[in-house]
Amino acid sequence: MNYFLTEEQQMIKDLAAKIAAEKAVPLVAELDETEEFPWEVMKTLASSDLFGVYLPEEYGGFGGGVFELCLVTEELSKVCCGMGVCYAASALGTLPILLFGNDAQKQKYLPDIAAGKKLAAFGLTEANAGSDAGAVATTAVRDGDFYVLNGTKQWITNAGEAEVYTVIALTDKAKGIRGASAFIVEKGTPGFTFGKKEKKMGIRCSATRELIFQDCRISKENIIGREGMGFIVAMKTLDRARPGVASQGVGLAQGALDHAVKYSRERVQFGQAISSFQAIQHMLADMATQTEAARALTYAAARMIDSGDENISREAAMSKLFATDVCMKVTTDAVQIFGGYGYMREYPVEKMMRDAKILQIYEGTNQIQRNVIGLALIKESAKKK
C-alpha cells in the first residue's frame, strides 16, 4: 500500500532496511541464542544517523517525529524484534526529556542521544507497580541541592547498556501518584546499580535489568518539569511511544508473513507447493490484510501525534493494541504454515512467535490499552451532554 512517504521518509526507511538486511540478519539467530546485546547493529544505526530521526535539528536530530521513529523500528523489527526494541526503547527513555525537559537538559542530553553515542532507557515499572503504574514506591527525597533516590525499578529495557535513564519516583509519598516526579539519572552515578540480566522468552538480544537506587544522590537540576509532574510525564511519554511498539508489531508480523509466503511456495506436499492449497492461501490473505490494517492504523496514529494534536491517548492505544494482537496472530499462523519446521529453532518463525508475545504485555498490556480506549470513549460521550 502506498503511504505517500516524503523523499526523506523513504530514505530513512530504505536505510533502515539496508542495515536490517546487511548488518542485522546475519546476527539474529546467534544473538537470540547468546542473548548478547546487538551493539554492532546499534553502532551502525548510530553512524547512519538513525537515532536522531525523531529529534529536532537544533539538538543534532533530523527533525522528524514519531512517524520516522516508527519507520526505523518497523524495518528493524521485520528481521529482529529484539533489535527493534533496543532502538525504540532508547526513544522511550528520551521522550520525557524531549517533551518536558528544559533547554539546558535538552542541550546536555539530546545531541549525544541523536548521534547514537548514548542510549537511553525509561524506568517506571516496579515489582508491585506494573499495570498499576500509580503504585510506584521508589522515592526521591530533596536534600539541599540534591534529590536522594531509593528503590528498585524492574524489567527496564536497555538497563545496563544505556547511559541516560529517565526515572519516575515519589517526591511526596503522602500525595501518592500526584506526588511522583521524573528525573534524569546517568549511568555511573554513585548509588545507582543494576540487577542481573533477566532471562526472557523472546526479544532475547535486548537487555532487561533492574535499576537499583540506594541513597543515589542526583543534582536537583535533574528533575524533569516540576515536582508532582511525574505521572503526567510518564503518561504523555507512553502515549507518544505506543505507535513505536505498534510498529514493532507491524514489522515483526510483516517479517513472519514474508517468511510464510516464501516457504509456502517452496514446501511440496501431495505433489505440489502448499501455496497452491486454498487453506494456505486464505491464511496468508488474512495475515497480509491484518498486517496492512495494523500498519495503516499505526501510521495514522503516528502522523496524528506529529501533527501536534494533544488528544491522542485513544488513537495511540488503538494502534498498540491492534498491531500487537495482529502480530501475535500472524506469527502464530506463520509457525502453523511452517508446520513442524516452524517449531524448530533452525527456522526463523519460531523466534518470531516468541518475540511477539511481549508486545501484548509491555508498555501497557493490551488490557490496559482497552481501558484507555474505553475511558476515552466514555469521556467523549460525557462531554457531549
Partner 1 sequence: MNIIVCIKQVPDTGSVKIDPTTNTLIRSGVPSIINPFDMNAVEAGLSLKDTYGGSVHVITMGPPQADEALRNTIAMGADNACLLSDRAFAGADTLATSYTLSMAVKKIGDFDIILCGKQAIDGDTAQVGPELAEILGLPQMTNVSKLIEVKETTIVVEQELEDGCEIVEVERPCLLTVTKQVNNPRIPSLKNSMRAKKAEIPVWKAADINADEARIGLKGSATQVVKIFEPPKRTDRRILQGDVEEMVTELVTELRKRL
Residues that bind partner 1 (CB under 8 A): 7-8, 11-12, 15, 18-19, 22-23, 44, 47-50, 52-53, 62
Q: Strand, helix or coil at 227?
A: coil
Give the residue with the Cβ less far from partner 1, 22 or 215: 22
Least spacing, CB of residue 43 vs partner 1, in Å:
10
In the annotation, is 363 catalytic?
A: yes
Least spacing, CB of residue 80 vs partner 1, in Å:
16
How far from the centroid of its chain's Cα atoms is residue 255's Cα? 17
Please say whether the beta carbons of 325 and 357 come within 8 A. no
Give the residue with the Cβ less far from partner 1, 41 or 323: 41
Least spacing, CB of residue 16 vs partner 1, in Å:
10
How far from the centroid of its chain's Cα atoms is residue 331's Cα? 18
76, 173, 359, 375 from 84: Cα distances, Å: 5, 36, 11, 30
Per 3-state DSSP, the chain is made up of helix, strand and coil in percentages (nearest 5) of 60, 15, 25
Q: Strand, helix or coil at 76?
A: helix
170, 204, 253, 339 from 368: Cα distances, Å: 22, 24, 22, 33
Give the residue with the Cβ less far from partner 1, 46 or 140: 46
Give the residue with the Cβ less far from partner 1, 53 or 294: 53
Least spacing, CB of residue 50 vs partner 1, in Å:
6
Give the residue with the Cβ less far from partner 1, 70 or 233: 70
Element (H, E) at 298: helix 278-306
Cα 273 to Cα 333: distance, rounded to the nearest angstrom: 18
- Name which of 244, 238, 246 is nearest 133 in CA terms: 238
- Catalytic residue, from 126, 221, 363, 380: name it: 363
Least spacing, CB of residue 44 vs partner 1, in Å:
6
Enzyme catalytic residues: 363
